Structure 1
Amino acid sequence: MSVSIQFLPDGVTVEAEVGEPLLVVADRAGVTIPTGCLMGSCHACEVELTGREDPICACITAVPPGQEALVINLYVDPTW
């Protein structure tokens, strides 16, 4: 199943498959998500999903099932 993913603030939209790693989707869209440990410990890759209160670590997250579209808000942590 294909999911439409929009990356904010630039509004870049790309199609992705359920289970596809978010970092792979972002790379294909030409969007850079900073990374550090690639294990979810350092939180350098945190992004916000619209409709979700807590940020997620993109390095350990895949496109979830059950949604037709996702909006991912990228933000820059000034400590990185």
Structure 2
Amino acid sequence: MTKIVFLPDNVTVEAEPGELLLDVAKRAGVSIPTGCLMGSCHACEVEIDGGETICACISGVPSGKKQVTVNLYFDPIW
């Protein structure tokens, strides 16, 4: 299991490696905006571990990590 911390509210939940981040967020009661659900529109972009930006709808929890920090930020244009 991997501990997922959603910022800025510090919501924490356990997740299995490979589980879609969008599903993990929903289970934790965290809202991530979505559009196409295929990674093309980038509405669900989040930053993980203070660097890489990914689309939560197509990206799974990385394996081999004890904790992953997901920084939610919202594009005001969406």
- 1:28-70 CA distance string (max 9 Å, x none): 1000000000011100000001143x31000000011110000
Give the TM-score, by structure 1 length. 0.94
Q: Percent identity?
A: 67
Gap runs ≥5 in structure 2: none
C-alpha distance in 2 between matches for 1:36 and 1:45? 7
Q: Does 1:58 align with 2:59?
A: no
C-alpha distance in 1 between matches for 2:17 and 2:64? 9
Provide the residue aligned with 1:77 in structure 2. Answer: 75
Gap runs ≥5 in structure 1: none
Distance 1:75 1:51, change over 3 A: closer
Counting matched residue pairs gives: 78
Q: In the alignment, residue 15 of structure 1 is paired with which amino acid?
A: E
Give the TM-score, by structure 2 length. 0.96
CA RMSD of aligned residues (A): 0.8
